[in-house]
Structure 1
Amino acid sequence: MLTLYHARISPNSRRVWITLLEKGLEFELVEVKMDGEQFKPEFLTINPFHHIPVLVDDGFNIVESLAILDYLEVKYPTPAMLPKDAKDLAIARIVQLVTVNELVPATSTFLLQFLGLPGGDPEEIETAQRKIATVLKFFENLLDDRPYFASHNLTLAEVVAGTVVTRLPKVGISLSDYPKLSAWCDRLVARTTWQATEPTPEVVEAFKSIVVARMANSEGRRQEAEGRRQKAKGTHA
């Protein structure tokens, strides 16, 4: 039995969850609460880097979502979720890696907005918006007359990029300038696998509480450090 350790709020976890569903596999879901469960000894035994997702298959622990997707594609090749043609395969891989290396870091700037919280550095947000626009334009140009990237069928490119791009309108980033990409998003969110794995409002609120608590703790530590600095300064005045 396959077991997926995941957090529903995480796009990295979601891409594996969607792939398991798209391939029609039987699996067990184990929710890892991001309030500290990922640091507990029992979880560190399966992933010492305390990240999710982790897929366990008959005692074999697989970390890193892209590695998990490759594992599933090779071990469970039906339905195929990577093209066989060299050019098409390259496009699928490009989409995956551009998402991970370029798009995800830029979208992390909008975490507070996604959670409905105030804050965010205006300059960082502007820089992130430019980076996201570059990626979206690049993706728009990669799409042809086929419904998916380099394929008539859903691929791992969709699973990786789609779990990020479809969230962009929720943080105020419009897809109206990218008609092919917008239509591509509509096709994805209409799929039952997307609907089944969409974070619920309750999940978002729970994660929001964790983020707010972390921000408060960070501010408290900052104030304590500043107090010690001022005290030391007064001592040596």
Structure 2
Amino acid sequence: MNETLKLYGYWRSSAAYRVRIGLNLKGLPYEQVPVHLVRDGGEQHAPDYAATNPQKLVPVLVHGERKIRQSMAILEYLEELWPEPALLPVTPRDRARTRALAQLVACDIHPLNNLRVLQYLEREWNAPQSERDAWVRHWIVEGFTAFEAMLVEDLGRGEFCEGDLPSIADCCLIPQVYNARRFGVDLAPFPNIRQIEAACLARPEFDAARPEVQPDAPRND
């Protein structure tokens, strides 16, 4: 399994962000292929990229001749091919709980707040920026309230979402916290989420995945 890994993504895509974290935690080298989701109407709509991903979304992981789409499927693919260091805990119960936390973000919060939804609200309903931002904040708070409660109920949680090592739940949570800060969500009611964020961002694998340090991020210099 020594074929080159190539990740199609966008610096501020939270789905691509979670895959970058997973790749870094696995210690896997990969080539980044930027797909600008806004410029010229969005490069994801170009015919050549649509051939790579018919959904016209990022991320896509290319491994040799294989194309793996959907961030959660990519993370599971990495886990199955390179099981160490693990992104899932050992027991079925803990694995199920970790997947539930990850999917709370990936399936319930993120789809309501991604770029194409916000563009639709603007284009079809003429929703101004302030209303779109309020929409984003509402669904993040709804999701984080549940996420925080699920963290509290697990008395043996540890430093990260599940235990003392990062998992796919942390891969999903940290990009969503980034979005929460970007849209001005008050994180004071979520102390456990903030503690996990601090623990994750102290690790080089998370630090290197941050949007602002990606090769396609805007530069101020």
- Tell whether the structures are fold-level matches, with TM greater than 0.5: yes
Tell me which residue corresponds to 2:54: 48
Larger Rg: 1
Aligned residue type for 2:22: T
Give the C-alpha shift of residue 193 in structure 1.
2.3
5+ unaligned residues in a row in structure 2: which ranges? 120-127
1:98-154 alpha-carbon deviations (Å, 9 max, x no partner)? 112322245559x79xxxx95216974675365245334324425534111222211
What is the one-letter code of the residue matched to 2:61?
A: L
* Residue equivalent to 1:227: none
Counterpart of 1:171, as a letter, is: F
Moved over 6 A (4+): none
Is the alpha carbon distance of 1:63 and 1:133 closer, same or farther for their aligned partners in structure 2, counting shifts above 3 Å? closer
Cα separation, 2, equivalents of 1:13 and 1:58 = 19
Q: What residue identity is the alignment partner of 1:14? A: Y
State whether residues 113 and 136 of structure 2, in contact with CA within 8 Å, keep that contact through their aligned partners in structure 1.
Answer: no
Q: Secondary structure at the match of 2:72?
A: helix
Residue type at the aligned position of 2:25: E
Deviations 1:72-112 (A, max 9, x none): 00001110110111111111011011112322245559x79
**Aligned counterparts of 2:65 and 2:197: Cα–Cα separation in 1:** 36
Which residue does the alignment assign to 2:196? 184
- Aligned pairs, how many? 202
Would the aligned equivalents of 2:60 and 2:68 in 1 still touch at CA under 8 Å? yes
Q: Does 1:57 align with 2:63?
A: yes
Describe the shift of the 1:122–1:17 C-alpha distance in structure 2 as closer, same or farther (beyond 3 A). closer
Q: In structure 2, how many angstroms separate the alpha carbons of the residues matched to 1:130 and 1:175?
A: 9
TM-score, with structure 2 as normaliser: 0.78
Q: Which has the higher contact order (CA 8 A, sep 6+)?
A: 2
Q: Which residue of 2 aligns with 1:164?
A: 176
Q: CA deviation at 1:155?
A: 0.5
SS in 2 for 1:144: coil
The 10-residue stretch of structure 1 (56-65 or 117-126) with the greater mean CA deviation from structure 2:
117-126
Alignment partners' CA distance in 2, 1:77 and 1:129: 31
Contact preservation (8 Å) 1:91, 1:149: no
Which amino acid is the alignment partner of residue 67 of structure 2? N
Tell me whether 1:87 sits opposite 2:86 in the alignment: no
In 2: Cα distance, 1:90 partner to 1:76 partner: 20
Alignment of 1:119 with 2:122, yes or no, is no
Number of the residue aligned with 2:148: 137
- Contact 2:137–2:180, Cα closer than 8 Å, also in 1: no
Partner of 2:206: 194
Say which SS state the counterpart of residue 120 (structure 1) adopts.
Answer: helix
Matching of residue 104 in structure 1 with residue 107 in structure 2 = no
Q: CA deviation at 1:163?
A: 1.3
2:164 aligns with 152
1:75 corresponding residue in structure 2 = 81
Give the match for residue 124 of structure 2. Answer: none
Task: Name the structure with the higher helix share.
Answer: 1
- The RMSD of aligned alpha carbons is 3.0
Alpha carbons of structure 1 residues 137 and 17: separation in structure 2 relative to 1, 3 Å: closer
Query: 1:205: Cα distance to partner?
Result: 8.8
